[in-house]
Structures are given as C-alpha cells and as structure tokens.
A and B are shown apart, each in its own frame.
Chain A
Amino acid sequence: MLVERLRNRDEQAFVELVDRYAASMLRVAMSFVRTRAVAEEVVQDAWIGVLRGIDRFEGRSSLKTWLFRIVVNTAKTRGEREARSVPFTAVLDEPAVEPERFLGPDHPFYPGGWSSPPHGWPEAKLEAREVRDVIDGVIAELPSQQRQVITLRDVVGCDAEETCNALGLTEVHQRVLLHRARSRVRRAVERYMES
C-alpha cells in the first residue's frame, strides 16, 4: 500500500514512512558512526536511496527490511571513513558471567553452580531514567557488530530474520553476537542495581 502510494509520488505517504521509521533508522545509523550529526546525514542519504530505489523495489523482502538494509549499507560506506574505534578490552569470546561467580569444576556437590548468585531487581529502580543511561553507555562501548545487532533487535525491535537481512549475518552468528551483547548489558545493569 505505502509502496504503491510512494511510487505514485504521494507526499503524505512519504511523511508517514519517515514518521514511522526515521527515528529507528537514526538509532541504527548511530550504531555505525561516531556522531549524531553524521548519523543524521546517513539517514538523509538513506532516504534519497529509498526514493531512487522505490520503483525497482520488488517486494521480495518487507519494506521495513529493505529500509534497514539501505540505512545499514549507507552507514557502512560512511563508517569506513569514520572508522569508529572499538575499545581494546572488547574480547569477543568472553563468558556471559564472570567465572569467579561459579564454584569450580572440582566442587563435590555443585560444580559450575553459583557461588555468588544474582539477586532479584526491584521493579521501581529498573524503571529509573539512570538505567536507560547505563544501557545507552554500555551499548556505545560494545564491539561494533554486537552494538549493531542489539540495536536492531532490542532497541529498534526487529526480529532475528530482519536483523540478519539488514546486517548480512547468518542466523547463528547473529545469535552469538546478540548473546554477548545482552550478557554485557545485563552485567552493566546489575552493577548499577547493586551500587
């Protein structure tokens, strides 16, 4: 529907599409480039790409998937010049939880059981503004692919298939990156909740 209207140069359709997706596209762009200003340019360039490509859009993927793929490709081109630095501490293979928090493999009853278990989080504290700042901060420091995956999946709300399509990842790789990213974010929230 929206695609047809856009092809017919319906300005209202364009405005609706921008309202619906531009904020999410900006989020995705920000996961690739260093500054908000550059991210805004990426989103603008991506929309130009959308207009140029709409007549050739065949609908084999959903419009949403197509939009995110365009913003990702635009951001990648831009990002090569911007090369956002990844902190050196960002090890890909780190465990979800620090090994010190578990009993050793030789423990007589509970090898690999919790020695320092997690505590429940109070709902009210979880809703606080500061939690969102903590999450924003830790996502910004993630290795780039982890940041891109968690942005598409958990911030923007794409499903696994849409995320794989936009980023050009296999389903398994996407899931590994998501696991690392979510585990890190959980640890950061835990540190905040217990501070």
Chain B
Amino acid sequence: MTINTISCQELVELVTDYLEGRLSWSDRRRVEDHLRLCEHCTTYVEQMRATIAATGRLREEDLSDEAKSALLDAFRSWEGG
C-alpha cells in the first residue's frame, strides 16, 4: 500500500513536473490521489500557481526612447547598405 502513495515531502518535489504535464501516468495518479486527500498540499499547489501568475505580472521593462531611436537609425543605415 505505502509503495503506491507519496508523502507531502515528495509531492513538493514533483509539483513542477506535475504542472508541466511531464509525470508518468502512474505518478500523476499518485499526485492526484494525494491532492484529493491533503488540503495542505492542495494549498501548496495553489501557492505555486499563484507564484507563477504573479511572476508573469512583473512590469515589462521597456527600452529607453534613446535606444529605440538608435535602433531605427540602425535599421535605416542597414536599408541603405
């Protein structure tokens, strides 16, 4: 029985493979069975998803106007050459 289950400590190391859809069918079953019964690990996976989403909201640094006009100059000289 224990052979087919994973602990919370093991689950936190599988979470990226799980979210990436890279677990084997049987490991995915084990993770999902565990999550059905474990609210703490469910919270952990939610935190991981929230972290990924928050990382995606980092402000996009934009190029300075100076750099942009230098690029346009480069394009125009490339065009000519």
A26 B63 Cβ-Cβ under 8 A: yes
Contacts beyond the supplied A14-B75, A18-B71, A154-B55: 14 A-B pairs with Cβ under 8 Å: A27-B60, A40-B63, A43-B67, A110-B8, A112-B9, A113-B8, A114-B8, A121-B47, A132-B57, A132-B58, A132-B59, A155-B56, A179-B13, A182-B16
Docked Cα-Cα span, A175 to B15, in Å, equals: 11
Docked Cα-Cα span, A68 to B51, in Å, equals: 24
For A9, what are the chain B residues with a Cβ–Cβ distance below 8 Å? 78-79
B15 A96 Cβ-Cβ under 8 A: yes
Which of A30, A40, A114, A178 neighbours the largest number of chain B CB atoms within 10 Å of its CB? A114
* Smallest CB gap from A119: residue in B: B43
| Shortest Cβ gap from A21 to chain B (Å) | 10
* Smallest CB gap from A155: residue in B: B58
Q: Please tell me which one of the listed residues B40, B62, B64, B68 contacts residue A118 in the complex, with CB atoms under 8 A apart.
A: B40
**Proximity bits, A102-146, B CB within 8 Å = 1, else 0:** 100000001111100111110000100001100110010000000
For A121, what are the chain B residues with a Cβ–Cβ distance below 8 Å? 46-47, 50
Listed A/B pairs (22) with beta-carbon separation below 8 Å: A11-B79, A14-B72, A24-B60, A26-B61, A30-B61, A40-B67, A44-B71, A44-B74, A110-B7, A111-B7, A112-B8, A118-B43, A119-B43, A132-B59, A139-B55, A155-B56, A155-B58, A182-B16, A182-B52, A183-B16, A185-B55, A189-B47
Chain B: interface size category? 35 or more
A binding-site residues for B, Cβ under 8 Å: 9, 11, 14-15, 18, 22-24, 26-27, 30, 36, 40, 43-44, 47-48, 51-52, 95-97, 99, 102, 110-114, 117-121, 126, 131-132, 135-136, 139, 150, 154-155, 157, 160, 175, 178-179, 182-183, 185-186, 189-190
